[in-house]
Every structure is written in C-alpha cells, then in structure tokens.
Chains A and B, each alone.
Chain A
Amino acid sequence: MSADLALRLIQCLLGWSILLQTLEYFKIRHSFDNQSVWGWSLLRKEMPSLPRVVLGFLDFFFDPKRGLNALLMLRLVASLSLMSAWEVGLFIPCLFVLQVLLLFRFRGAFNGGSDFMTLVVLSGLVIHLVLASSPWFVYAAPAGLGYIGIQLLSSYFVSGWVKLRRAEWRGGQAMIIFLDAGVYGPLSENSVFRRPKVAMLCSWSFIIWEGLSPISLLGLDVALAYASIACVFHFLVFWFFGLNRFFWAWLAALPSLLYWSGRIF
C-alpha cells in the first residue's frame, strides 16, 4: 500500500471515529453540568498547578454553558474536514490540541484505550505534517505511519503477552469472568462460552493472535488477513463490552500496518 493511500485512509477513518465520538459527547453533555458527575467545578480542583491565565482559559472552554459546546462544534467541523481532505494542514493540529484538552477535561481519559489510540493516530498525522514541511520530508510518511504502526502492534503484543502470563487466561476462566462483568453481561446460564473447552480455545486464539502481532509485517497478504481478524476481534469487543469507540479508533490505525507490511522483511 502506498503512503498516500494509507494516510488518506487513516484520515477518513479517524475523521469518522472522531465524528462519532463528538456526537456522543453532545448527546451526554447534560452529565458535564456543574451539578452532574463530570462537573468541571469539581474536576478543576485536581488540575496540576497551572498559571492562572491557563486555568481561566480552561474554565471558559470546559464550562458546558460557555465554551464546551464551541469546543465540541469545532471538533465536529475538524473531523468532517479530515474526512473530506479539506484544509487538513490546519485541522489535524487543531484536532490534536482538542484531543489533549478533552483528556484534561476528563481526568486523562474519558473512554480509556480508545482515547489513547485516537491520540496515537493524531500524533502520527502531526509527525507526518511537521516532517513534510521540513528538510527531512522524505521521512515524513515512514515516520508518521511508523509511529502509528508501532503503537498499534504494541497494543496487540502487550495485550497478548500479559494474558499469557495469567493462569486464568490460559485456562479460559478469565474470559468468562470478563464476559460476565461486561456491560451487556452476564452471559446466560447455558452460554456456549461457559463451556471450559470453548472458553480455553477462545482465550488461546486471542493470546496467540495478539502476541504474534509482529508477524503481520511479513507481507501484504498476511497484514490483510491480520487486519481482517482485527476487525472481527474489535467488533466482538464492542458486542460483549459495548466499546464501540475502540472499534473505530483501532480501525483508523490499521492502514499503517498495511503500509509497513512487506517493507521490512
């Protein structure tokens, strides 16, 4: 896959992912009011020490009655621009700053891993953008896509190996426990996943598939197969745990894998 195609795909998928996230923020903005759980008046008490002018700026932009709507609206426009390739040089840094601001608003993360992967993909696009307008422009695409790709592979690799170290995962029990605790759980009494052999088979499939993520770089065919399984895997994570943002955030990073496949071995 060419660098241009990979970057364009990433921009489209990331724009879509951020658009969906932003629409969700709009829908639940009642919970950002000062009397609600995510009220800024309480959250600001634990902000790291910042100059007064910066805190004033945050007070304005994080207040749901004042700047938060504008901030989310800007994010919405920026996500659409990313999808339509309109002024991306302006809106990619804009989305990066907005992402960091939202992380501050929600104590470092609103939705955990999906926020992290969104930041990773945005960081890769910023790296590409900065290098493309520098004397090292030939490294722009490899560096940007390399950053996204290595974080993507690391996410699978680490996740697989930490499971392998747990006896409960190797035995399949951990999967049942997590599925029972899921937002759509617990599993029904006669669920097929309660059968020890099925649970163990599924667990080992995930462990091996995740832990061997670097082999996806062997070639485009291998990477396409790996990415296809990744789509199914992330959909299952949504299906059982409700993590729809993970699905789109990881999907946005997958073109980096297709770009790097076959370029290393």
Chain B
Amino acid sequence: MKLTLVFLTIYFLFLWFGMRTKTTELTGRWWFFLRAFFPNWKFFHALGMAPRLYVHFKKGLPLGEDGPSWGEWSNWILVYPRVQRHVLNVFHNPEVNLRLGYQNLVEHLVADLNALPEGADASELVTYQLVVSLARDALSQYCSEHAELIFQFEIRMEEPWLNHPSECLRSEVMLVSREMFA
C-alpha cells in the first residue's frame, strides 16, 4: 500500500500544481462532446459577468387598409429559471433540470460567440439557433391562434449587485438578434 500512497500523493500534488498554472484548453467538436470523460470538477468558481437571455415581442394587429401592422414592442423579459422548491423534488425535478439545461445553452452560445472569428455570422451557429428556439419557447405563453408575434432576443452580460440581486452592477449587451416571427 506504500506504493498507492506515493501514487496518490503525486496525483494530488499534480492536481494542485495544475490548478496554479495556466493550461492549454483543448478545443474541437470531439473534445466538447466527450468532455464527460475528462471532467475538470470546477464548480461554482466563475464569478463576474454572467450571460442572461432577454426577449421582447410585438403583436400583429388586425389587417388594415395598408396591410399588416404591428403593435409596440413589449418590455424586455428575462428568460431565467426561477421556480418554487419542494423537498420531494430531490427525487423528481424534471422542469428545473430542463430549465438549467436551457441556461447552459445560453452560456454555450456566449462561449461560441467569443470563439467566433471577426466578421462571422453568429446566426449560423447551432447554439444561436437553439437559443432562437428557446426564446420562441419562452414566448409561447404570449402567443395565441389569432395574433402573430414578432420577437427579438438579446444576450446581456450582467454582474449582479451584491445583496441587491434585482439590480445590476454592470450590464452589457453582447448580442442582439434580428427580428423573427414566433
């Protein structure tokens, strides 16, 4: 067992030094899809600006003589998971896990935007199109059979104010989508 102890000591020293030095990040589709085989176990460490998805919309008004017309833009609506907790959710929490997955998509879009070459079209990104679906999904409660909706989304990088979570210390718009039909 002495050998195991030596191995463990070396391993944890290696891990410790690894965290102190800047290492090269592996990029590429395969690495990304198979990252579960190489978990980095860094939980709740990233602080500062965090991405938030906002949507706004305007409803189509009945056809006038001049063709279709549109109402005013709504206020921006934050699409962010907020739910009531229940202790039994420790066994079954599908909606929360789904919404957390949605928020991860927003974070992946930001990562993809940061990696995008200068002048490239963000709307070509799969993550962009997934977030379009997410924005559309978030607006479904405002849709009706009789009214068409045009919507737009924004990705903002926000830093909340400590102890005043509803206010932002900083907020920067990172991306504004084009207008789309819901």
B residues within 8 A CB of A204? Answer: none
Find A45's partner among B12, B34, B108, B126 (CB 8 Å cutoff).
B126
Complex: A54 Cα to B126 Cα, angstroms: 21
Residues 1-36 of B contacting A (Cβ, < 8 Å): 1, 4-5, 8, 11-12, 15-16, 19, 29-30, 32-36
Tell me, yes or no, whether B96 is within 8 Å of chain A by CB. Answer: yes
User: Closest CB-CB distance, B71 to chain A, in whole Å?
Assistant: 25
Residues 100-155 of B contacting A (Cβ, < 8 Å): 100-102, 104-105, 108, 126, 129-130, 133-134, 137
Tell me, yes or no, whether A176 is within 8 Å of chain B by CB. Answer: yes
Tell me, yes or no, whether A31 is within 8 Å of chain B by CB. Answer: yes
B interface bracket (residues with beta carbon within 8 Å of A):
35 or more
Once the chains bind, are B44 and A163 in contact (CB under 8 Å)? Answer: yes
Complex: A239 Cα to B84 Cα, angstroms: 11
- Identify which of A1-9, A150-158, A220-228 touches chain B: A150-158
Once the chains bind, are A108 and B36 in contact (CB under 8 Å)? Answer: yes
Once the chains bind, are A103 and B126 in contact (CB under 8 Å)? Answer: no
Tell me, yes or no, whether A23 is within 8 Å of chain B by CB. Answer: yes
Complex: A92 Cα to B180 Cα, angstroms: 46
Find A180's partner among B15, B84, B165 (CB 8 Å cutoff).
B165
Once the chains bind, are B94 and A103 in contact (CB under 8 Å)? Answer: no
Tell me, yes or no, whether B69 is within 8 Å of chain A by CB. Answer: no
Can you pick out 15 interface pairs between chain A and chain B where the beta carbons lie within 8 Å of each other?
A24-B94, A43-B130, A109-B35, A116-B35, A119-B37, A158-B42, A161-B16, A163-B45, A168-B47, A173-B162, A183-B96, A242-B81, A242-B83, A263-B4, A264-B4
Listed from nearest, the 3 A-B pairs whose CB atoms lie closest are A180-B165, A186-B165, A242-B96
Residues of B within 8 A of A (CB): 1, 4-5, 8, 11-12, 15-16, 19, 29-30, 32-37, 39-45, 47, 50, 81-85, 89-102, 104-105, 108, 126, 129-130, 133-134, 137, 160, 162-163, 165-166
Residues of A within 8 A of B (CB): 20, 23-25, 27-28, 31, 35-39, 42-43, 45-48, 103-104, 106-113, 115-117, 119-120, 123, 150-151, 153-155, 157-159, 161-163, 165-166, 168-169, 173-174, 176-178, 180-181, 183-187, 194, 214, 217, 235, 238-239, 242-245, 247, 263-265
Further contacts, 19 of them, CB under 8 A, given A155-B43, A242-B100: A24-B92, A37-B133, A45-B126, A48-B29, A104-B33, A108-B34, A112-B104, A150-B11, A157-B12, A161-B16, A165-B19, A181-B50, A183-B100, A184-B82, A184-B83, A242-B85, A244-B97, A264-B1, A264-B4
